[in-house]
Amino acid sequence: MSFGIASDDRQIAIYAGMVTSVFAFAEFSTGVIWGRLSDRVGRKPVLLTGLVGTLLSMLVFGFAPNLPVALVGRALGGLLNGNIGVLQTTVAEIVTVKEHQPRAYSIMPFVWCLGSILGPALGGALAQPCESYPWLFPRGSIFDQFPFLLPNLVCAIILAFGVVIGILFLEETHVNMRHKRDVGLKIGEWITRRCLREKPCQFSDKAGDAHFTETTSLLYEDDEPPGYRTTDGTPRQQISRSQSPSNARLRLNLRDKEGLKLQPNGLRQAFTHQVILNILGYGILA
């Protein structure tokens, strides 16, 4: 109604539905692409890109003077946000013990539902501030020209804070990307040591080898998903616990250099009967 395009109240629902659905459609169109990209560049860059994309979407929507710009802003957020699938993969890679995975996965919907409760309440309280809080936001200000800018600015600030936290403290979980140097993570460790006044932990070679042996055993105990197997043409070899850590590290480094590639039919193989049923059920629920 604030855009001045609805002739009556019945059309408001149509335009509001367009604003909501354009985000979902854009996210649906690029979700698989972001998942594949996370296999090539890592989980952390894709997750941070999703936060930045949502931040830009909020700013565009907040400064939207008309409905087309608002739709572009919402579509931009959907196109640049592929965090749903990548985040679930990240949790699976962090929590390698299957007995602990249900508890880890239960945290995500809890946080999502909590945000779904607080978000609309916060947005409604901050929308049109010149009408709700005239003593703080006088007429003729930028918030009068863009009545929905304030809640989007608050969301953008929260997202910017999340991006900073992710850069400094989020560790890469992709097995082929963990060895890469992460400057942001190093800075985060330095900040943590300065705040807690702790000295850098020194681990012996035995401790490192033991941790590596445990990690590699967890990585190779379970089969990889059908769509994410390597295409080197050789059967995947198991790293037994009796092997020396140096040989296991060498074999893992060789695999890292080869890179994780999708099979030509990997995407088709990923959509099994059970996966399709889960997708249909989730879509019906939505």
pLDDT at 143 over 50: yes
191-250: pLDDT as tens digits: 999 888 765 555 444 444 544 444 444 444 444 444 444 444 444 444 444 445 455 555
| pLDDT computed for residue 199 by the predictor | 57
- Can you give the pTM of this predicted structure? 0.70
The CATH classification of domain 10-177, taken from the options 3.30.450.20, 3.20.140.10, 1.20.1250.20, 1.10.260.40:
1.20.1250.20
What is the pLDDT averaged over residues 62-82? 91
164-192: pLDDT as tens digits: 999 999 999 998 888 888 999 999 999 99
97-125: pLDDT as tens digits: 888 888 888 888 888 889 989 999 999 99
Domain range summary for the chain, segments of one domain joined by +: 10-177, 212-285
**Which residues lie closer than 8 Å to 84 by C-beta, 6 or more apart?**
27, 31
